[in-house]
Amino acid sequence: MEHQAAGGIIAIIGGTGAEGTGLAKRFIAAGNKVIIGSRSTEKALMVAEDLKRGLPHADVSGMENQEAAAAGSIIFITVPYDALKETAERLSGRVTGKVVVSTVVPMASSNLRTYSLPMDGGSAALELQQLLPDSMVVAAFQTVSAKDLLAPDRELACDVPVCSDHQGAKEIIMSLASCVNGVRPIDGGLLENSRYLEGITVFLLNINRIYGVRSGIRITGI
């Protein structure tokens, strides 16, 4: 069963990276229209063409990030944390009144471990809401492996907590998450809870390193 995104077109900012391309594959496979955004229009178009070759019926296009944000109805931000502020500033005015989803995790890695970066704003998603006060920011999909997303035939078998201060926006993204094979969306409460999602993601990456796996989360009792 296809689950079209409520409100229309999904624009993925930073969509040429593994996380963005993986989400695009999953949403396209479910019948959604997707725009790949990038700082380079040429690179965005290249990734869109690659997606079309793998998914012949895909409704996907490539644009520069600002154009993608203006054209999209639901905006996913999949850039690294150190690019978050600049990205948000460039998108300001193009995402007013729109649902903006943060998959961003403030972290860094060494040869031995992955660790969280100190956060004055509490979490990347909370910072994004401050940077885009006229948008409805949602935190979701941080805990899902990008490598698993890139294999659309693979059932993920995981939960995706979704946090936001905007209930309607949260419900839209929970509905969209339910279209991804094997995903169960979980209402994660207010956006302030995104700090825990971002921290759990860092923990999972360390677990993956230790055990050589791609782990996710399951919440029992629901």
Whichever domain contains 14, its CATH number is 3.40.50.720
pLDDT at 1: 37
Domain limits for position 55: 10-211
Question: Does 221 fall in a domain?
Answer: no
CB-CB neighbours of 213 under 10 Å: 11
Per-residue pLDDT of the chain (222 residues; tens, 9 = 90+): 344 555 589 999 999 999 999 999 999 998 999 999 999 999 999 999 999 998 888 999 999 999 999 999 999 999 999 999 999 999 999 999 999 999 999 999 888 899 999 888 899 999 999 999 999 999 999 999 999 999 877 889 999 999 999 999 999 999 999 999 899 999 999 999 999 999 999 999 999 999 999 999 999 999
Q: Does some domain include residue 115? A: yes
pLDDT of residue 52: 94
Rounded CA separation 60/78 (Å): 17
Q: Is residue 106 part of a domain?
A: yes
| 217 CB-near residues (< 8 Å, 6+ apart) | 143, 158, 159, 161, 200, 204
The pLDDT value recorded for residue 112 is 83
| 1 found inside a domain | no
- Domain count across the chain: 1
| HSE of 66, CA atoms in CB hemisphere, 13 A | 6
pLDDT number for residue 126 = 98
